């Protein structure tokens, strides 16, 4: 894809890239000609995914806890030390999936803080430490939120708040980092990550007649990070 590769292959960081939507995004960006640095807390799965996606070394795994500033900072410093900079793209996909928690009067504040750290603070941390590594100060950030930011389920306070914050943060980052760094958000709806477990009960909600697939999200991310979307920033795409 010429818009991605151009004269020089781009380098992309994909958080939560070991499985599911993150893996599909990493695979698509590799197909587009990028070198992909996979950040994930799951060391075993992350190492295996990088090897499976590309044995030539264009996929590199970093063991990172994206909700921990020291871990994120160390990863970006290691990238620079090992010649994995400059970078062009950051995709913030890592996050704790939705779960149905307690009613508000029994809300576990420790769990609340964990969700905010992994689902929201991580976006600030990657933007902060990637900023100095972007090629010639230019780059693209794509955040993966969720339609649950405006369609909350009962007692899903932590997930809803963190994803809603990510959508708002996207707009703020686009203004604060523009015009050289574009920032957009993708909010997937129902996405099935296992072909053997289709969400048949949810298909009537979709005019397309099926739930989303990781590859659908990956295709949208591919376009957003390409030069074809060069004027697109500060947007949230429902997918």
Buried-exposed string 48-65: b where 16+ CB fall within 10 A, e elsewhere: ebbeebbeeebbbbbbbb
Q: How far is the C-alpha of 229 from the C-alpha of 213, rounded, in Å?
A: 22
Q: How far apart are CA 34 and CA 106, in angstroms?
A: 46
What the chain holds in terms of domains, given with CATH numbers, is 2-238 (3.40.50.720)
**Could you tell me which residue, 98 or 133, shows the higher pLDDT?**
133
Within a 13 Å sphere around the CA of 106, how many CA atoms are in the beta-carbon half?
5
Q: What is the pLDDT of residues 102-138, one digit of tens each?
A: 677 778 888 889 989 999 999 999 999 999 999 999 9
Average pLDDT over residues 63-84: 96
Check residue 150 and give its pLDDT.
Answer: 59
Which residues are 92's β-sheet partners? 15, 143
pLDDT of residue 107: 81
- The pLDDT of residue 233 is 98
Beta bridge partners of 13: 37, 90
Summarize pLDDT for 204-235 with one digit per residue, the tens. 566 776 778 999 999 999 999 999 999 999 99
Residue of 114, 178, 115, 185 lying closest to 150 (CA atoms): 185
6: confidence class by pLDDT, cuts 50, 70, 90: very low
What would the 3-class secondary structure string for the chain be? Answer: CHHHHCCCCCEEEEECCCCHHHHHHHHHHHHCCCEEEEEECCHHHHHHHHHHHCCCCCEEEEECCCCCHHHHHHHHHHHHHCCCCCECEEEECCCCCCCCCCCHHHCCHHHHHHHHHHHHHHHHHHHHHHHHHEHHHCEEEEEECCHHHCCCCCCCHHHHHHHHHHHHHHHHHHHHHCCCEEEEEEECCCECCCCCCCCHHHHHHCCCCCCECHHHHHHHHHHHCCHHHCCCCCCEEEC
135-174 pLDDT, tens per residue? Answer: 999 999 999 999 866 565 665 677 788 889 999 999 999 9
Task: Note the pLDDT of residue 211.
Answer: 78
């Amino acid at each position: 894809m010429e818009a991605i590769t151009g004269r020089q292959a781009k380098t992309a960081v994909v958080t939560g890239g070991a499985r599911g939507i993150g893996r599909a995004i990493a695979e698509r960006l590799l197909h587009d000609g990028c070198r992909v640095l996979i950040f994930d807390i799951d060391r075993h799965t992350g190492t295996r995914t990088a090897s499976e996606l590309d044995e030539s070394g264009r996929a590199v795994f970093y063991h990172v806890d994206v909700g921990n500033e020291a871990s994120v900072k160390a990863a970006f410093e290691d990238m620079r030390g090992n010649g994995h900079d400059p970078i062009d793209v950051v995709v913030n996909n890592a996050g704790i999936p939705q779960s149905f928690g307690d009613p508000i009067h029994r809300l576990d504040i420790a769990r609340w803080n964990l969700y905010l750290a992994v689902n929201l603070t991580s976006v600030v941390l990657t933007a902060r430490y990637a900023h100095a590594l972007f090629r010639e100060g230019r780059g693209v950030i794509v955040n993966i939120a969720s339609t649950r930011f405006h369609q909350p389920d009962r007692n899903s306070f932590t997930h809803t708040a963190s994803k809603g914050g990510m959508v708002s943060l996207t707009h703020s980052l686009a203004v604060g980092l523009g015009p050289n760094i574009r920032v957009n958000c993708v909010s997937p709806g129902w996405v099935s990550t296992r072909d053997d477990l289709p969400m048949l009960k949810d298909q009537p909600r979709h005019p397309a007649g099926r739930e989303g697939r990781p590859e659908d999200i990956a295709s949208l991310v591919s376009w957003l990070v390409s030069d074809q979307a060069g004027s697109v920033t500060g947007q949230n795409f429902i997918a």
